[in-house]
Amino acid sequence: MIAKYNAKISGTGHYVPDKILTNFDLEKMIDTTDEWIRTRTGMVERHVVTEDQAASDLAYPASLKALEAANLKPKDLDMIIVGTISGDHPFPSTACILQKKLGLKNFPAFDVSAGCPGWLYSANIAKQFVENGVAKNILVVGVEILTKITNYNDRNTCILFGDGAGATIISRAESKDISRIIDSEITADGTHYELLIQEAGGSRMPASKESVKKNLHTCYMEGNKIFKFAVKSMDSMCDIVMKRNKLDVTSIDWLITHQANMRIIEALGRKMRIDSNKVIVNIEKYGNTSSATIPIALDEAIRSGKIRHGDLILMASFGAGLTSGSLLIRL
């Protein structure tokens, strides 16, 4: 495709629920320790929803913040894409529910199921809709309530997850703008889909008393295998966009990766030989919020003044599918 326009991230916002679950709270629930969780994952606490909160309840306030940051009103949007695997309902899409909450209708709204890279996949799609002139301002959200599909008897997984939403507006860039989404690469390796899976609740295994009893509506993960895939795939996705744009790692101002495990982030940093001061980390506060980790980290770093207009930012993610991807932007 020959791009008619450039796309850019024009605004960001995030929202996390008030309730906090600390490592010490988890010590009281399962056989684990604060020390094990901190040293093996880098996590200290995570935000979790109350029973009455669903994905769109987090996505809505995050979206309002992103619109405000972009200096736009909801009526300026012409598409909504939500990356999620824990939407309000199996159907309709959370994007349609969000569209109603924003008081909007009559334009495309859809969800993208790509595991943790859900926001990154959605940003890649939005970029193309803006570049070909079909849309001008797309709301792209990563939102997840993984704590409602977590097995709190499984210490291998239940310590990892938190809830949250990160929202971005992907807009058409003016010709004088230095800000733009420079490049993006997404891929999947479905041969290993069973390594990270919510087995029941779909057409393969509809809900039954048996499926609930066996906890099959919760997340099953083979952590060690995912760990290896994570480092390899994110390194490869970053390498592809850096090579394609004739950049080496010293030109990158900031690296924002999926916040799944501090040891994965460090291993990737070492493999890429990037200065550790350039790597954005907030895993200690939020845990793994799946598709929300990157847009939350991006928004936090912008609002704190760490990331500034004009900075070159490389993002990378991996997750269920197994999927992976990278996104290179100048803010």
- Under the binding rule (CB under 6 A), the answer on residue 36 touching ligand ACO is yes
- Under the binding rule (CB under 6 A), the answer on residue 223 touching ligand ACO is yes
Contact letters for ligand ACO, residues 249-288 (x by CB under 6 A): -----------xx--------------------------x
What DSSP string runs through 83-120? Answer: E-SS-SSSSS-HHHHHHHHTT--SS-EEEE--STTHHH
Q: How far is the CB of 290 from ligand ACO (least distance, A)?
A: 5
- For residues 3 and 29, which CB has a smaller minimum distance to ligand ACO in the complex? 29
Q: How far is the CB of 263 from ligand ACO (least distance, A)?
A: 7
- Under the binding rule (CB under 6 A), the answer on residue 59 touching ligand ACO is no
Q: Assess contact for 154 and 219: CB atoms under 8 A.
A: no
Output helix, strand, coil percentages for the chain, rounded to the nearest 5.
40, 25, 35
- For residues 7 and 49, which CB has a smaller minimum distance to ligand ACO in the complex? 49
Name which of residues 6 to 35 contact ligand ACO (CB under 6 A): 32
Place of tokens 């099959």: 216
- Under the binding rule (CB under 6 A), the answer on residue 221 touching ligand ACO is yes
Phi first, then psi: what are they for 255, rounded to 5°?
-115, 125
Q: How far is the CB of 221 from ligand ACO (least distance, A)?
A: 6
From candidates 137, 290, 293, 317, binder to ligand ACO by CB under 6 A:
290
- For residues 253 and 266, which CB has a smaller minimum distance to ligand ACO in the complex? 266
CA distance 200 to 86: 13
Name which of residues 180 to 209 contact ligand ACO (CB under 6 A): 196
Q: How far is the CB of 99 from ligand ACO (least distance, A)?
A: 25
Tell me the helices (H) and strands (E) count for the chain, helix number first: 11, 14
- Under the binding rule (CB under 6 A), the answer on residue 5 touching ligand ACO is no
Q: Output the CA–CA distances (angstroms, integers) from residue 236 to 175, 200, 260, in the order listed.
A: 31, 32, 17
CA distance 221 to 227: 10
CA distance 186 to 318: 10
- For residues 60 and 229, which CB has a smaller minimum distance to ligand ACO in the complex? 229
- Please pick, among 116, 158, 219, 238, the residue that the annotation labels catalytic: 116
CA distance 145 to 82: 13
Give the SS3 label for residue 185: strand
- For residues 132 and 198, which CB has a smaller minimum distance to ligand ACO in the complex? 198
Does the annotation count 288 as an active-site position?
yes
Neighbours of 81 (CB within 10 A): 27
Q: Assess contact for 142 and 294: CB atoms under 8 A.
A: yes
- For residues 145 and 226, which CB has a smaller minimum distance to ligand ACO in the complex? 226
Number of residues that bind ligand ACO (CB under 6 A): 23
Question: Nearest residue to ligand ACO, using CB?
Answer: 223
Half-sphere CA count of 24, side-chain side, radius 13 A: 1
Does the annotation count 116 as an active-site position?
yes
Binding site for ligand ACO (CB under 6 A): 32, 36, 40-41, 115-116, 155-156, 159, 196, 219, 221, 223-224, 226-227, 230, 260-261, 288, 290, 319-320
What residues act catalytically? 116, 258, 288
